[in-house]
A and B are shown apart, each in its own frame.
Chain A
Amino acid sequence: MPDPLNARIKTMIVQTLRLEDIDPASIKDDEPLIGTGLSIDSIDALELVVALEKEYGIKIKSSEESMVALSSVSGLVAFIRQKADPSRLPPA
């Protein structure tokens, strides 16, 4: 069964960054988020981080955390799961 948080993150990426021609489901879990097929640059990534902070109340506290969180959708999902208030996460 698909992970609802994973699906939500992919939808947020598409909506926040207005990637209108990309199907959220087509985003690969392990593909690097920045500088690959999605054409996300650092400002897009910042916009995504700002949106995620609002939705999940997470805070990236170091460049190392940033590197892990922005490594891929899988990395981002794991980071949010680890840092977010559980009440804000979609039910599994």
Chain B
Amino acid sequence: MAARIGVDVTTPETRVADGPRNPGPDWGYGFLLGCDRLLPEGLFRPLRAAGTWVALAFMHAQRRHSREYLALVLPEAPTLRDVFRHFFACEEALMAKLRVANGLDIPCEFDPSAAAFEAWLAGGGPFLLGTFHIGASDMLGFQIGCHEKRRVYLVRRRVGNSGDTERLSRISGGCVRFIWGNEASELVFGLKAAADTGDAIALQCDRIENARQMEDFEFLGARRSFPTTIYRLARVLGRPVILTVGVPLPGGRSRLYGTPLFGLVAGEGRDAMRARAREHFQGFLRMVEGLLRERPYLWFNFIPLNPAAGAGAGVATDP
């Protein structure tokens, strides 16, 4: 079955950012959209590539982290061209997201592994939806809220240039709302309020930067720390979990991959749930690793890679 990524409206509360994390200026998204309207793609794409080279030149830390990651997924040591392709893939994903937010309709197809997500999309429900910063995954919010009209809360950190977020908020017609995680008290209230609605809650599950509790999983040749936040939320809020990632395809389409449903088992103890959660997340990581081995530039991970076990970052905990 195919769905389409489309658009409509939202309304976020606008609060002060805790400082820009994304590298671009706050007018950058408007500038890109303006150019997209005015310039033919044959001219605009080379300009975007040139802009990416400029970014590459100045973003030393991100370049280093890109190289570290690519060294794990490419068969040979990454070259500067590989790093550029990694940066450019991220830029193109952003551009696609902005276009979708601006009304572009992107066809989306489901891999058989995404059957649980597809079923949720058809029926809705108070699920926890997790994803990674991979490929077209960021556009899931648009698909869920704008086209399929499923109500979903996205957990985000407000940053200085949240233009895409604000735009999604405006166009989703109230289907996509945000839980801002900058302040712990704000996050707690937001999660509780969202849980009380029975709508889905979506969050990114790959980065450890804001997570206190993590566990180690086999990934890219080592045991690496990942946050277990989504499974902790599943236990606290009594909600099932589905993990998905979206991968762009030629011709402006995308394909969704996912996990089976991680459901709740009545009377299950914490340790048993933790073991099931580990198995579920490890299965997702195996799938993601397979995708990244085929499409290495699609994990937009320009921060330090999830540390390998023994690097001192992980704190084992129960979900």
Check if A42 is an interface residue, CB within 8 A of chain B: yes
Check if B3 is an interface residue, CB within 8 A of chain A: no
Q: Is the CB of B192 within 8 A of A42?
A: no
Q: Is the CB of A63 within 8 A of B191?
A: no
Q: Is the CB of A34 within 8 A of B236?
A: no
Q: Is the CB of A67 within 8 A of B212?
A: no
Q: Is the CB of A70 within 8 A of B188?
A: yes
Check if B183 is an interface residue, CB within 8 A of chain A: yes
Contact flags B220-253 to A (C-beta < 8 A → 1, else 0)? 0000000001001100110000000000000000
Q: Is the CB of B233 within 8 A of A43?
A: yes
B213's closest neighbor in chain A, by CB?
A: A41
Q: Is the CB of B233 within 8 A of A66?
A: no
CB distance from B152 to the nearest CB of A (A): 18
Known pairs A49-B192, A50-B236, A66-B188; A43 contacts B183 (CB<8 A): no
- The B contact surface, by secondary structure, is helix
Return chain A residues, CB-CB under 8 Å to B185. 34, 45, 63, 66-67, 69-70
Q: Determine the distance from Cα of A47 to Cα of B195 in the docked complex, in whole angstroms.
A: 12
Return chain B residues, CB-CB under 8 Å to A43. 213, 229, 232-233, 236
Interface size class of B (residues with CB under 8 A): 10 to 19
Partner of A45, one of B188, B213, B233, B237: B188
Q: Is the CB of A50 within 8 A of B189?
A: no
Interface size class of A (residues with CB under 8 A): 10 to 19
Q: Determine the distance from Cα of A69 to Cα of B185 in the docked complex, in whole angstroms.
A: 9
Q: Is the CB of A60 within 8 A of B192?
A: yes
Q: Is the CB of A49 within 8 A of B188?
A: yes
Q: Determine the distance from Cα of A66 to Cα of B191 in the docked complex, in whole angstroms.
A: 11
Check if A87 is an interface residue, CB within 8 A of chain B: no
Q: Is the CB of A60 within 8 A of B236?
A: no
Q: Is the CB of B184 within 8 A of A62?
A: no
CB distance from B16 to the nearest CB of A (A): 13
Query: Would you list which residues of chain B between 157 and 191 have a CB under 8 Å from chain A?
Result: 181, 183-191
CB distance from B13 to the nearest CB of A (A): 9
Check if A65 is an interface residue, CB within 8 A of chain B: yes
CB distance from A63 to the nearest CB of B (A): 4
CB distance from A74 to the nearest CB of B (A): 15
Q: Is the CB of B236 within 8 A of A63?
A: no
> Can you offer 19 A-B residue contacts whose CB atoms are under 8 A?
A41-B184, A42-B181, A43-B229, A43-B236, A45-B188, A46-B188, A46-B191, A46-B236, A46-B237, A62-B189, A63-B185, A63-B186, A63-B189, A66-B186, A66-B188, A66-B192, A67-B183, A67-B186, A70-B185
